[in-house]
A and B are shown apart, each in its own frame.
Chain A
C-alpha cells in the first residue's frame, strides 16, 4: 500500500464514519421528532374570511349576539350540539319549578376573558339588560327575568310559560357578557384583541378558557362578495373561506394545499301550498304536487344539497326518517280522483276551470328563484300550468294569503328545538300559518309538545307532527342545502357543522379538531 493509498483509505474510513454518524443522528432525530411530526401542526395564527362580521361588541344591539357566538367570542348558558341537541354550556343544569319558573345552576369553573368568575349576579345583570334592550330576546317566551339566588344559581321567570327554557337560552340573543367601562368581555374560546368595524376582528386565545395554549390567534376578515372571498382564498390570504359560492368550487379542484368541504346546513327549502286557494283546498291536489316534484332535480339545479326528509335537517334527532316519495304516476292518479282531468292543451280542467297556479319566490335566497323553473316543469308534466312571480317582501305576500305556491327558506330549529317552527307555521291560529291549514289532531299534537318536557317525548311528538303535515300537505319540504368551506392546510382538520351559528369553535385550529 502506497502512502497515497493509505491516505485514500484513511479518508474513505473517515467518510464512512461520518456517514454512519450522520445516519445515526438522522435516525435519532427522526425518532425524537416523529411523534410531533405525526400529529397535525398547530398554526400560530389563522385568518378566516367570511361574508359577515359582527357590527359591534354589544350583544344587546341588533343581531350582534349571533355574530359574537358564531365568531367564538361569546357563549350562552346552553348551546346546540353537533347532534342538534340542546346541551349545557356555561350552565350545568336547568330545572323547571312548580310555579313555572326555572332554576339554572351555573358551572363553577367558567371565566370571562379577564379572569373574572362567571357568577349568577353577573349573568343576571347582563341578560336582564339584553332582555330590556333587544326585542329579539323577547321573541319566544316574552320577557325573561333573571334573578341571582346565590353566586351559582339563577331563577329565571318568563312572561309566557315555557317547558323549553334551555332551548331559549341557547338562542343567539342570550350571550353572557361582563359589562365594563369599555367593550364587554365574554367567555368564549377567543377574546377580542382589536375590532375594526366592517373589516376585521383580531382575536387571541382566551387565557381563561381550557386549552388556551393549543389555540392559534385568529383574524376574521370580512369579504362581502363571494367571488372575492374565493379569490382571497385562492391567493392564500385567508386560511378558511366560509360559505364559498358553488360556482367557484371548480377553482380548487386538484389543489394539494387547499380543500373544500361541503356540509348540510339546518336551513330547509320548502314550498307553501295555500289551502285557501280553490284548487289547493283539496288535499289530493296538494299531495299530488308534493309527489310530482323530484327533489334530486332541485338539488341538481342548486348544485348542492340533499333531498329533504321533512321539516328538519337530517342531523337533528327529531328529523323525519327516509326519503320523501317521488311518484308522478300516483300524482296524476290523485288529480284524476280529484276531478282534474287532462284537457286538450295539456292542462288539467275541472268544471270549465283550468288548473293554473302562481308560484312565488324571493331573491334574498337565490336558490329559490333557481327552483322556480324546475317546479314549473315538474307540474307542467302533471298538467298544472304554473306562472312564476318574485317578491322582495316574502312575509308580506305570504301573510296576505294572496298566493298559490310559495318557495321558502327557513332555519327550522335555530335553538335546537322543534317546537318553534312546528307551532309558528302550522297551528290553526298561528301567526305565520301562511298556508291557512287547519287540522285539529295536529293542533292537539302541538299542544302536547308545548307542555312536554322530556326530550324523547318531544322528539316523538315532533315526528308525529311531521307525519300529520305530510298527510295534510300544506307544505312540500324540498331540499336541505349545503354550504361550502375552503380550508388551507393550516386548518385542514376543521369540520363545519351548525350552519353559521358556530363557525369558530373551541377546537378551531387545534390538534383536537375532529
Chain B
C-alpha cells in the first residue's frame, strides 16, 4: 500500500465515521423525551425548576447542538466519553467492561456460524436436493422468520428450566456464553451456508471442473480445491453488511441470557435517554462496521487480483 493509498484510506475511514456519528448524534437528540425528565421520573425525586436546571447544566444540555457535538467528538477521540446520565459513572469504563462479553458472543457466534455454515454450504453444493440442502434452506428460512427473542426464551426454558443441563445465569463464564453464542450461531449459519453454497455451486457447473475430474481428482476434492476461493469471495461480500451483528446483533442474546454486554447497556440507555452512553456506543459500532467493511474488501481483493486491479485503477 502506497503512502497516498494509506492516507486516502485513513481519510475516507474518518470521514465515513464522522458522517455516521454526526447523523446519529442528531437522530438521538430528535428522539422524544428529555433526559432530565426521564431521570427524575425514574428516581422519583422532588424536582424543582432549579434542580432541573442544575441537571441540565451538569449534563451539558444547555449548550447548542454543534457545541455539544464538538465536545463529544473531542472527548471520544481522547477517550473521555463522558459521564452516564443514569449511573453517574464514566462511560468509557462502563463500556470497556462490557466489550469483552459482547465480543465473545459476537465473534464466537460468527466463528461457529462460519465453521458450520461453510461445511453445510459445501455439502449442499455437492449434493443438491440432499439432506444438507434441505437443512441449509430450513436454517436460512428459520434465521429470517423466527423471532430471536422467542427462540432464546425457548432455549432457556428447555436447557435451563426443564433439562437443567446448565446454569446460564449463575454458571461460570463459559457456561454463561454457551446459549448466547448458540443463538447468534443459529441465526447466522443458514445465510452463511447459502452464500458458500452459491460459490461452490458455480464451481460445480464450471467447465474447468470437468478438466480437474478428468485429471483423476475425486469430485469432492476437486470442488473444494477449485471452488473454495470463489466461495470465500462470495462469503466475504455477503457477510460484510452483517458485521453489525457482531456488536449490535447480540442485543437479544444479552438481554435474554442476562449478559452484561454493550448492546444490553445501549438498550438501557435508549430508555433512559442516556446520551453519553448512546453516543459512545454509536461511535464504537460505526468504527467497527467501517473497519470491518474495509477488512472484508481487503480480503476480497487479496483473494481476487482482478478486484485489486480495479481498486488501483479507481
Contact = CB atoms under 8 A, between A and B. Distances in A.
Given A63-B42, A198-B265, A232 B33 contact: no
Contacts of B265: 198
Contacts of B15: none
For the complex, would chain A's binding face be called helix, strand, loop or mixed by DSSP majority? Answer: loop
A323 to B, nearest CB: 26
A199 B44 contact: no
25 contacts: A55-B89, A61-B87, A62-B84, A64-B87, A136-B51, A139-B45, A140-B46, A171-B45, A196-B260, A198-B264, A198-B265, A221-B170, A222-B260, A225-B256, A225-B258, A227-B256, A228-B255, A228-B256, A228-B257, A228-B258, A232-B156, A235-B167, A364-B271, A392-B33, A395-B40
Interface in B84-136: 84-89, 94, 97-98
A253 B11 CA distance: 62
Contacts of A231: 153, 156-157, 160-161
A329 interface: no
Given A138-B51, A232-B258, A221 B169 contact: yes
A316 interface: no
Contacts of B271: 364
Interface string A188-225: 00000000111100000000000000000001011111
Interface in A102-156: 134-136, 138-140
A164 B169 CA distance: 43
A392 B32 contact: yes
Nearest to B261: A198
Contacts of B42: 63
Given A61-B88, A198-B98, A396-B37, A139 B258 contact: no
B309 interface: no
Given A138-B51, A234-B161, A431-B49, A55 B86 contact: yes
Contacts of B47: 139, 431-432
B63 interface: no
Given A135-B58, A219-B170, A364-B38, 7 more contacts: A55-B86, A62-B85, A198-B94, A199-B260, A223-B169, A228-B156, A231-B156
Contact of A136 (B45, B49, B86, B94): B45
A230 B271 CA distance: 22
A25 B47 CA distance: 69
A155 B42 CA distance: 31
B89 A61 contact: yes
Contacts of A432: 47
B168 to A, nearest CB: 8
B35 to A, nearest CB: 10
A161 interface: no
Interface string B195-212: 000000000000000000
Interface residues of B, number: 48
B153 A139 contact: no
**Range of interface residues on A (Cβ < 8 Å):** 35 or more
B43 interface: yes
| Max count, chain B CB within 10 A of own CB: residue among A61, A391, A424 | A61
Contact of B44 (A60, A238, A411): A411
Pick the most buried of A49, A55, A198, A420: most chain B CB atoms within 10 A of its CB. A198
Contacts of B46: 139-140, 420, 424
A383 interface: no
B54 interface: yes
B288 interface: no
Interface string B137-158: 0000000000000000100110
A414 interface: yes
A406 interface: no
B114 to A, nearest CB: 28
Interface of B: 31-34, 37-38, 40-49, 51, 54-55, 58, 84-89, 94, 97-98, 153, 156-157, 160-161, 164, 167-170, 255-258, 260, 264-265, 268, 271
Given A198-B265, A221-B258, A238-B169, A64 B55 contact: no
B178 to A, nearest CB: 14
A46 B22 CA distance: 47
B88 A47 contact: no
Interface in A385-440: 391-396, 410-411, 414, 420, 424, 431-432
A244 to B, nearest CB: 14
A171 B163 CA distance: 45
A48 to B, nearest CB: 11
Contact of A393 (B34, B48, B58, B160): B34
Given A49-B169, A231-B160, A197 B84 contact: no
A332 to B, nearest CB: 36
Contacts of B48: 139, 431
Nearest to A363: B271
Contacts of B255: 224-225, 228
Interface string A43-85: 0000101000001101011111010000000000000000000
A410 to B, nearest CB: 7
B164 A236 contact: yes
Nearest to B171: A237
A55 B58 contact: no
B88 A56 contact: yes
Nearest to A420: B46
Nearest to A222: B258
A135 B51 contact: yes
B242 to A, nearest CB: 24
Nearest to A424: B46
List 3 A-B pairs, minimum CB-CB distance, nearest first: A61-B88, A62-B88, A198-B260
B258 A235 contact: no
A395 B89 contact: no
Contacts of A198: 94, 97-98, 260, 264-265
Contacts of B170: 47, 219, 221, 232, 237-238
